[in-house]
Structure 1
Amino acid sequence: MTHDTEPGTTDVVRDLTTSENTKGIQSFAEILHTPLPKHPPFFMDVTLRDGNQALRKPWNLDQKETIFKQLIKLGVQGIEVGFASSNDQEFEACNYLSSIAPENVVISSLSRAVEKEIDISWKAIQNAPKPRIHIVYPISAFTIENVLKTSPTKVLERIFQSVAYAKSLVGVRGEVQFSGEHFGDALENLDFAVEAFQTALNAGADVVNLPNTVERYRPWLFVSMVRAVTNALPKDTKISIHTHNDLGMATATTVESYFSGAIQLETALNGLGERAGNTNTYEVAIALHNCGVSVPLNFSAIYETSRLVSYLSDVPIYEKAPLIGEDVISHRSGIHQDGVAKTRHLEKGAYRAFDAGLIGRPEGDRIEFTSQSGKSAVFCILRDSGEDITLEQAGDLQPILKKISEESGKGELTLDEIKLEWNKIKAISYKTNQA
């Protein structure tokens, strides 16, 4: 069986796909004992820049400060506070937030590869304890030809000049990050992308960022590109990942990129960002945690953060949103409820992907009764409310409640409705015993 690579795939990807990824599926035991990356993940938050610029009503300074302070509470290691050169309001926000930044948090401003704009970025964030200028410039063949309308040689010249200039401003106190915009589209010219990143490093860049600016393909393809670039650059290169969620796979892409060599993970609160949004901070954090990675975030602040961001952005949280959605801890199927009931006391639940208490949610597994529910649901709901009921009694009550749910058309029954029927059964039982 052969594995054909995509048309236009460069040698660096072809070498990768014909070696490491074609050795066959590992045994479960081998997977469990696969060494974790030696480097802890570095969370670079882009909510105040990428997230904010996509809002119908961008945040004012007070709102940005509120989000900024919540990010500090959450424990992110870096914050991109804005795009200082884009307008006066952004400059003011970048400048102010830099002045109140903690000693241990990297503060970044985005800039195009233009000296005048780099100057503005530096002026805005230079008072931060750990300032960083973030320069972005396209590197995919498609964008170079159709948007920049220039040559690859000119692109490399611009990258070197802009990064070197930024480095001359930040000196030894600050950092420079270079992002190769549309890296995810650079499959056909990946060798050039490697050259572009190496050029940035030669000019003094401290971090190179590989963005999936528009998500078009399966995660494996992007992750293969990340691994190829990581292998091609010097071993001490600090690789960053910035993925968008156009096809709904940004979390998977970011998590697997971390396991493929990325150190810095650019994410956004509530997954805010252009179009379908950026990688969601919470999903990446808990996925890594579940895989045994030591994640340097304050998990207990996740739930409150999600509510705050939703309120300030006026973007509601989908009830099925992973981790933070209202419905993700609910169980209504009889089979699921039985599994939940039998594993509630265990660290790992039959149908529990995460511990709600870990992220600051006020409640754990929630069992609710509908026509799809079984006796375990009745038993747990009433027991949790303080009722003394046996599993056998719950089995007698279940068909009664199921019929009410179906015939009323209401679906889910409230605790009061369930108790009403339970009290009827208890009354009948009492009269029978008295007779």
Structure 2
Amino acid sequence: MKNTEKYTRQFFEAPKTEMKWTKKSYVDKAPQWCSVDLRDGNQALIVPMSLDEKLEFFKKLVDIGFKEIEIGFPAASETEYDFCRALIEQDLIPDDVAIQVLTQSREHIIEKTFEALKGCKNAIVHLYNSTSLAQREQVFRKNKEEIKEIAVSGAKLCKEYREKYEGNFRFEYSPESFTGTEPEYALEVCNAVLDVWKPTPDDKVIINLPVTVQLSMPHVYANQIEYMCDNLKYRENVIVSLHPHNDRGCAVADTEMGLLAGADRVEGTLFGNGERTGNVDIIVLAMNMYSQGVDPKLDFSDIPDIAEMYSRVTRMNIYERQPYSGQLVFAAFSGSHQDAIAKGMKWRQEKNSPIWNVPYLPIDPADIGREYSADVIRINSQSGKGGIGYILETRFGYNLPKKMREKVGYMVKSVSDHAHKELLPDEVYTVFKQYFVDITTPIQLQETHFVQRNGIEASVVFDYDGRRVTASDTGNGRLDAVSNAIRSYTGSDFNISTYTEHALEVGSASKAVSYVEIVDGSGNSFWGTGIDNDIITSSVKALISAVNNMLKEKVQNK
């Protein structure tokens, strides 16, 4: 690519740290979570949410289990202000939930913010100002001392106004553009703010270290977080918070490494919605912990319901391959994947295993409200016999013999290929029935009779070539006798190769299903399936279905 010389690394390495976080292999406990869907997520929308939509979203966040929810910038607009007042005046905030509001370090904005919060049982006032080199030089044209003074004066004003207004208020400070700020200077500013607020065990302060713009690889951010955690004043009374954006596509990695490096709290959004490339996706973070056996303390057991609400009120789409949430993230079209999943599911059932370790599925889809047959095994021209057999067994109750699964698989894939589309489970079942179940042409069974005479003698009444005929022969069993009778009458050369049966448990437990494979004189295999209340009749139907498939192919090949 051209113009690479115009770009340079804009991040600042942290002073030497021990990199203690590299000794850990996973996040072993849930952080404090703060949803910023109603602020970051809302300001990122082409059409911001209405008051009613924000109220619905807030209630959903409470149901999920968020204890801290940033609701907006009440001094910025009438809608934001009214939303804050509606939550307080309508008593919609549970006693164990704190709302969070954002404010710049300007007195009239801070005053309006506290007015909006008047009477709130639990609120976090989130003060911020930008500290990065680029912002200092280009936007504010101020030196380090002047920028630090903006933060300190804002902290003092917040402290003053807290005394003037009724309510329970905590404080948060963000050095915006932290990742573009020299770590030593970010520490100096944060410590100056802490010296104003003087946090205590009963009045802890949040220091939020945002990845306002991603400028480096995640390990650089982790080192910056470890440096801050090791050097912040009042550390035992400071909650270190992360707020990663996703410019380089590393928001989840930034957050997980930042937690390993000592952070206590995460600000993010459902599905990663936010300006530019978005905020960190809290669902992904929480489910990553869940997949490692760690309770994230958030309830995502019905992601489809959450996704429906989110898409409706934000008018945003969720990418089909978005981890955990996308419609296709558990879908396996590949034959080898389908086969491994189906076998893995069967193994768990056989072993009654309490541990989830099914190939290709990092978590059990059912744990987040997804269905196996609809969401996991998806059928198209790339699919294999394992997945098709899995759908027919789990959705419709047909446990096809292994060799028959291959035959049915080729037929279903051929239909999908010619239609150039995915086949839904009901369409897979339709193909199976059309080509293999109770096939009635050219031979249509009417009735069979058996007598014990030199083994078993069968008399088979059926329609063939426009005539009703009766064919009789003997065999060492009922199915063998019927096979001999049909073979002798039609002059066909075939032998029964495979026969299995089982109760059809889906739909009606009183019915039996039989599967028959015949092999003709040239070694070609043909399958048929029969269903009936009587097991003998179902086996005869299966045989005739196989014979009909053989006879049809011979006509087609002439």
Give the TM-score normalised by structure 2: 0.70
Note if contact 1:401-1:418 (Cα within 8 Å) is conserved in structure 2: yes
SS in 1 for 2:357: coil
Distance (whole Å) between structure 2 residues aligned to residue 376 and residue 35 of structure 1:
36
Match of 1:412 in 2: 422
Q: Distance in 2 between matches of 1:120 and 1:53?
A: 19
Match of 1:95 in 2: 85
* Shift of residue 115, structure 1, vs aligned partner: 1.3
Higher relative contact order (CA 8 A, sep 6+): 1
For residues 111-156 of structure 1, what are the alpha-carbon distances to aligned partners after superposition, in whole Å with 9 as ceiling and x for unaligned?
Answer: 0011111111111123221111111101111111111111110111
Q: Which position in structure 2 is the counterpart of 1:353? A: 362
Moved more, 76-85 or 244-253: 244-253
The CA distance in 2 between the partners of 1:84 and 1:152, in whole Å, is: 29
Query: How far apart, in 2, do the equivalents of 1:387 and 1:122 lie?
Result: 66
- Please tell me whether the aligned partners of residues 78 and 108 of structure 1 are also in contact (alpha carbons under 8 angstroms): yes
Mapping 1:57-76, distance limit 5 Å: 57-76=47-66
Q: 1:7 to 1:89 in 2, by over 3 A?
A: closer
Distance (whole Å) between structure 2 residues aligned to residue 278 and residue 84 of structure 1: 21
Structure 1 residues 292, 332: CA separation in 2 closer, same or farther (over 3 Å shift)?
Answer: same
Segments of structure 1 that go 5 or more residues without pairing to the other structure are: 1-5
> Are 1:400 and 2:411 matched, yes or no?
yes
Which residue of structure 2 lines up, in the alignment, with residue 253 of structure 1?
254
The within-5 A match list for 1:210-359 is 210-234=209-233, 235-236=235-236, 237-344=238-345, 345=348, 347-359=356-368
| Deviation digits for residues 245-275 of structure 1 (CA, Å, limit 9, x no counterpart) | 1222212211221221111100112222111
Q: Which has the higher helix share?
A: 1
Amino acid at match of 2:87: L
Identify if the C-alpha distance between structure 1 residues 362 and 421 changes in structure 2 by more than 3 Å, giving closer, same or farther: closer
In the alignment, which residue of structure 2 is the partner of 1:200?
193
- Per the alignment, residue 380 of structure 1 pairs with 390
> Are the equivalent residues in 1 in contact too, given 2:42–2:48 (CA < 8 A)?
yes
Could you list the runs of 5+ residues in structure 2 that have no partner in the other structure? 1-7, 200-204, 440-526, 529-539, 548-558
Question: 1:191 corresponds to which residue?
Answer: 184
Q: How many correspondences in the alignment?
A: 415
AA in 1 matched with 2:328: D
Change (3 A) 1:421 1:84: closer
Q: How does 1:20-35 map to 2 (within 5 A)?
A: 20=19
Cα shift at 1:21: 7.2
Change (3 A) 1:405 1:232: same
> Distance in 1 between the 2:317 and 2:10 partners?
42
Q: 1:390 to 1:323 in 2, by over 3 A?
A: same
1:251-308, Cα deviation, whole Å (9 max, x unpaired):
2211221221111100112222111111112111111222343322122254322210
- Contact 2:11/2:216 (<8 A) preserved: no
Greater Rg by CA: 2
Alignment of 1:34-183 (within 5 A): 36=28, 40-99=30-89, 100-171=92-163, 173-183=168-178
> Hey, what's the Cα distance between the residues in 2 that align with 1:303 and 1:197?
41
CA deviations 1:143-185 (Å, max 9, x no partner) are 1111111111011112111112212323593111001100011
- 1:420 shift after superposition: 4.0
CA distance in 1, matches of 2:413, 2:46: 45
The CA RMSD measured in Å over matched residues stands at: 2.5
Cα distance in 2 between the residues matched to 1:293 and 1:199: 36
Q: Kindly provide the CA deviation profile for residues 79-120 of structure 1, in whole angstroms up to 9, marking residues without a partner as x.
A: 111101111221111222234211111111100011111111
Give distance in 2, aligned partners of 1:7 and 1:317.
32
Percent identity (aligned): 27
Q: Which sits farther off after the overlay, 335-344 or 357-366?
A: 357-366
- SS for the counterpart of 2:103 is strand
Task: Report the secondary structure of 1:131's partner residue.
Answer: strand
Q: Match for 2:228: what amino acid?
A: V
Q: Which amino acid in 2 is paired with 1:144?
A: R
Distance 1:382 1:422 in 2: 9
Q: Does 1:370 align with 2:380?
A: yes
**Distance in 2, Cα, partners of 1:36 & 1:387:** 43
Select between 148-157 and 411-420 the one with higher mean Cα deviation: 411-420
Conserved 8 A contact 1:74-1:301: no
Deviations 1:367-396 (A, max 9, x none): 122222221112101112222422221022
Q: In structure 1, what is the Cα distance between the partners aligned to 2:250 and 2:422?
A: 32
Indicate if the aligned counterparts of 1:44 and 1:266 stay in contact, CA closer than 8 A: yes
- Segment of structure 1 superposing worse, 215-224 or 147-156: 215-224
CA shift in 2, pair 1:243/1:214, >3 Å: same
Task: Note closer, same or farther for the CA distance 1:402–1:166 as it changes in structure 2 (3 Å cut).
Answer: same
SS in 2 for 1:173: strand
In the alignment, residue 54 of structure 1 is paired with which amino acid? Answer: A
Amino acid at match of 2:154: S
Deviations 1:375-418 (A, max 9, x none): 11121011122224222210222223333333x15142343443
Tell me if the contact between 2:27 and 2:259 (Cα under 8 Å) persists in the aligned partners.
no
Change (3 A) 1:209 1:416: closer
Superposed CA deviations along residues 166-220 of structure 1, whole A, max 9, x for unmatched, are 123235931110011000112xx11001111111111116111000011232211
